Structure 1
Amino acid sequence: MIVCSCNALSHKDIESAIDAGASRPSDIYTARKCRAQCGNCVPGMVCLLRQALQNRKHMQAAVSQTSVLPAAANQAVYL
């Protein structure tokens, strides 16, 4: 889906920029080597950014919960 018609940016372009580390609309424009023109796309970009950052936060929380070992597993057992 086209999010920015002035620069012909699709949601895939925006997702790629986010995956590369973009965290603001200006980062997305920079990553895609363009600039804001009319600004109508900014709310859509912000929505995609929030969603991606929220998903990333949930994924990190899930990974950290699964990587925590029980206390007994961290202790060495000597026989």
Structure 2
Amino acid sequence: MESAVASGATRPREIYASKGCKAQCGNCVPGVVCLLREARMKQVQAGLIQQTASVAALSA
């Protein structure tokens, strides 16, 4: 999931495509959406940490 998000996936269908499958009945979609949001949050947090470190390095 995280590798698909890192590759630019932003929608459940893009996640399914990256794994070579697709939703059949749709019962798994809410779970995929939740995992997608979590993976995106990790990306955002990592970016913020990196920005903070860059600013701290410039201030030193």
- Name the TM tier (shorter chain): 0.7 to 0.9
What residue in structure 1 maps to residue 29 of structure 2?
42
- Counterpart of 1:62 (choices 20, 45, 49) is 49
- Runs in 1 of length 4+ with deviation above 6 angstroms? none
| Count of residues paired in the alignment | 58
Q: Greater helix share, 1 or 2?
A: 2
Instruction: Provide Cα deviations, 1:28-55, integer angstroms capped at 9, x if missing partner.
Output: 1111122210100000000001111111
TM-score, normalised relative to structure 2? 0.79
* CA RMSD in angstroms, aligned pairs only: 1.6
Q: Which has the higher contact order (CA 8 A, sep 6+)?
A: 2
How many percent identity over aligned positions?
A: 50
TM-score, normalised relative to structure 1? 0.63
Q: Greater strand share, 1 or 2?
A: 1
What amino acid is aligned across from residue 15 of structure 2 in structure 1? I
- Give the unaligned 5+ runs of structure 2: none
